[in-house]
C-alpha cells in the first residue's frame, strides 16, 4: 500500500468492502469516514431530507438523531419497549404520520431489534428502514445477520465498537445496487470518473489504512463476539445470585446479541458507580441524558415525561467492564464489588481523595 502510494480508495478499501458485505450477507458495502456520515449519506441516498420525518429510538447515541437533522429531516423519537433496551414497535406505529419516510431501528448495546415484524410494519406503510447497527456487528435476529434486513444498514467502526478501526471509520451495507452507486458517488465528491462530477457529493471516504486494519480485525470478529457472549453469561450467572441490581434483559427470542455493552440497572446508580470507582472498577453510563432532554434538541419541544421508560433507564443504567479479553477472575472481582454495595458504614477509604 505504501509502496504503491495507494492511500485513497485503495485496494484495501475494495477488499474490506467485499469481505464485510459477505460477512453481513448483503450485496454491497461502502466504506465511509464514520458511522454518523454513513447514516447521513444513507438517508440522502433514499432522497430523505427537508420536510420528512424519520422515526428512531429515544434511547440511542445522539449521532442517530444528528444524522437525521443534518439531511434536513426531523427526528421523531419513540420510546423503548418494557424490559428491553430497544425501540417499541407499538410506539413506532403510533409515531407514523403522513410525513414519515423512514425508520432507523438501533440495535443498542448489541441487542438486535426483532427485525421481521418491524420490516412488516414498514412495508405496510411504505417506509424505508435503515438499521443503525453501530453497536451490533455480527449480531443475528432469527438466524440472519443484522444489517441484512433493512433497505440499508450503517455500522460505525469507531475504535471502541465490536469491530473498530484505529481511528474514525464506518460502513454502509445494502442489497440495492442503485443505493450502492449513490453512496459511492456521495462519499467521493459526486465523481463517477476523476474530475467529472454528476452530483454535489462530499469527501466522506473510508481511509485506506483503516480499511487494511479492519480487514484483518474482521477475521477475529466472530471469536471476539463469542468471548463477549461468554463474559455476559458469566456476569448473568454471578449477578443473579447477588440480587442487588437488575441484570440486563435476555436477548429477544430467536436473536443472538453481541454484548457491545453489559448494562445493569440499579436504584442508586450514581452511588453504585462511585462505590465501584472506589473499588477500582471503572464504569460508564450509556447514556446519562436522553436526546429529547439535550439542549441541542430543545427545538423538538419535548419535556421530562415525554419518553418515560427511556428517562427511567437513563437514571438507572450502568455499563460494567465488557471486552473480549476480560477474564473470569476480573468478572468475579467486579461482581464482588457490585455485591458489596451499599458499602458498610464508616468505610476506610481505599483510594486517597485528590485534594488541591
Ligand atoms: C457510535 C455510534 C454512532 C456514531 O458513529 P461514529 O462512527 O462515532 O460517527 C451512531 N449510532 C450509534 C448507535 C453508535 O453507537
Q: For residue range 281-323, what is the model confidence (pLDDT) as tens digits? A: 999 999 999 999 999 999 999 999 999 999 999 999 999 999 9
User: Is there an atom of ligand 1 within 6 Å of 231 CB?
Assistant: no
The number of the ligand 1 atom at minimal distance from the alpha carbon of 39 is 10
Residue 2: predicted pLDDT: 75
H or E stretch covering 212: helix 208-218
Taking 80 as the threshold, does the pLDDT of residue 356 lie above it?
no
Rounded distance from Cα 134 to ligand 1 centre (Å): 6
Residue 10: predicted pLDDT: 84
User: Per residue in 17-62, pLDDT tens?
Assistant: 999 999 999 999 999 999 999 999 999 999 999 999 999 999 999 9
pLDDT category at 352 given cuts 50, 70, 90 is very low
User: Is there an atom of ligand 1 within 6 Å of 291 CB?
Assistant: no
Cα–Cα distance, 228 to 214 (Å, whole number) = 19
User: Is there an atom of ligand 1 within 6 Å of 36 CB?
Assistant: yes
Rounded distance from Cα 115 to ligand 1 centre (Å): 20
Mean pLDDT of 173-198: 97
Mutate-to-test residue for ligand 1 from 34, 36, 39, 170, highest number of ligand atoms within 8 A of CB: 36
Residue 242: predicted pLDDT: 65
Rounded distance from Cα 113 to ligand 1 centre (Å): 17
- Mean pLDDT estimate for the chain: 94
Mean pLDDT of 237-248: 84
Residue 224: predicted pLDDT: 98
Give how far the C-alpha of residue 74 lies from the chain's centroid of Cα atoms, to the nearest Å. 20
Residue 355: predicted pLDDT: 44
Mean pLDDT of 252-258: 91
CA distance from start to end of the chain: 51
Taking 90 as the threshold, does the pLDDT of residue 252 lie above it?
no
* Of 47, 46, 65, the residue nearest 55 (C-alpha): 65
Residue 244: predicted pLDDT: 73
User: Is there an atom of ligand 1 within 6 Å of 210 CB?
Assistant: no
User: Per residue in 167-177, pLDDT tens?
Assistant: 999 999 999 99
Mutate-to-test residue for ligand 1 from 134, 166, 172, highest number of ligand atoms within 8 A of CB: 134
Residues 95 and 55: beta-carbon distance below 8 Å: yes
User: Per residue in 54-70, pLDDT tens?
Assistant: 999 999 999 999 999 99
**pTM reported for the whole predicted model:** 0.95
C-alpha cell at 248: 440486563
Mean pLDDT of 228-238: 96
Cα–Cα distance, 267 to 245 (Å, whole number) = 8
Taking 80 as the threshold, does the pLDDT of residue 241 lie above it?
no
Beta strand pairing status for 53-57 and 317-320? Answer: unpaired
User: Is there an atom of ligand 1 within 6 Å of 59 CB?
Assistant: no
Taking 50 as the threshold, does the pLDDT of residue 255 lie above it?
yes
* Of 70, 86, 308, the residue nearest 186 (C-alpha): 70
The number of the ligand 1 atom at minimal distance from the alpha carbon of 158 is 7
Taking 70 as the threshold, does the pLDDT of residue 347 lie above it?
no
User: Is there an atom of ligand 1 within 6 Å of 34 CB?
Assistant: yes
User: Is there an atom of ligand 1 within 6 Å of 155 CB?
Assistant: no
DSSP track, 226-242: HHHHHHHHHHHHHHHHH
Amino acid at each position: 500500500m505504501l509502496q504503491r502510494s495507494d492511500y485513497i480508495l485503495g485496494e484495501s478499501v475494495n477488499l474490506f468492502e467485499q469481505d464485510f458485505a459477505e460477512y453481513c450477507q448483503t450485496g454491497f458495502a461502502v466504506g465511509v469516514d464514520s458511522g454518523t456520515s454513513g447514516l447521513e449519506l444513507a438517508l440522502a441516498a433514499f432522497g430523505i431530507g427537508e420536510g420528512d420525518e424519520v422515526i428512531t429510538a429515544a434511547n440511542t447515541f445522539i449521532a442517530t438523531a444528528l444524522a437525521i437533522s443534518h439531511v434536513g429531516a426531523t427526528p421523531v423519537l419513540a420510546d423503548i419497549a418494557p424490559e428491553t433496551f430497544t425501540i417499541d414497535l407499538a410506539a413506532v406505529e403510533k409515531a407514523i404520520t403522513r410525513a414519515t419516510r423512514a425508520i432507523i431501528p438501533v440495535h443498542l448495546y448489541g441487542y438486535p431489534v426483532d427485525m421481521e415484524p418491524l420490516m412488516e410494519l414498514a412495508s405496510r406503510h411504505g417506509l424505508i428502514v435503515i438499521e443503525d447497527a453501530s453497536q451490533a456487528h455480527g449480531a443475528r435476529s432469527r438466524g440472519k445477520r443484522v444489517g441484512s434486513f433493512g433497505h440499508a444498514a450503517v455500522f460505525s467502526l469507531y475504535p471502541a465498537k465490536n469491530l473498530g478501526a484505529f481511528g474514525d471509520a464506518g460502513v454502509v451495507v445494502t442489497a440495492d445496487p442503485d443505493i450502492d452507486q449513490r453512496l459511492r458517488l456521495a462519499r467521493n465528491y459526486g465523481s463517477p470518473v476523476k474530475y467529472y462530477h454528476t452530483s454535489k457529493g462530499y469527501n466522506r471516504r473510508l481511509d485506506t489504512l483503516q480499511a487494511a486494519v479492519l480487514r484483518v480485525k474482521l477475521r477475529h470478529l466472530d471469536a471476539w463476539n463469542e468471548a463477549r457472549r461468554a463474559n455476559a453469561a458469566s456476569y448473568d450467572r454471578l449477578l443473579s445470585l447477588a440480587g442487588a441490581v437488575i441484570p440486563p434483559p435476555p436477548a429477544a427470542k430467536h436473536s443472538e446479541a453481541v454484548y457491545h455493552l453489559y448494562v445493569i440497572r440499579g436504584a442508586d446508580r450514581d452511588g453504585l458507580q462511585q462505590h465501584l470507582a472506589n473499588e477500582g472498577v471503572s464504569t460508564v453510563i450509556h447514556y446519562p441524558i436522553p436526546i429529547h432532554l439535550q439542549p441541542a434538541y430543545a427545538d423538538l419541544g419535548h419535556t421530562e415525561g415525554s419518553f418515560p421508560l427511556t428517562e427511567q433507564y437513563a437514571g438507572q443504567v450502568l455499563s460494567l467492564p465488557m471486552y473480549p479479553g476480560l477474564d473470569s477472575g476480573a468478572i468475579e472481582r467486579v461482581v464482588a464489588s457490585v455485591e458489596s454495595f451499599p458499602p458498610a458504614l464508616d468505610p476506610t477509604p481505599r483510594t486517597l481523595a485528590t485534594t488541591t
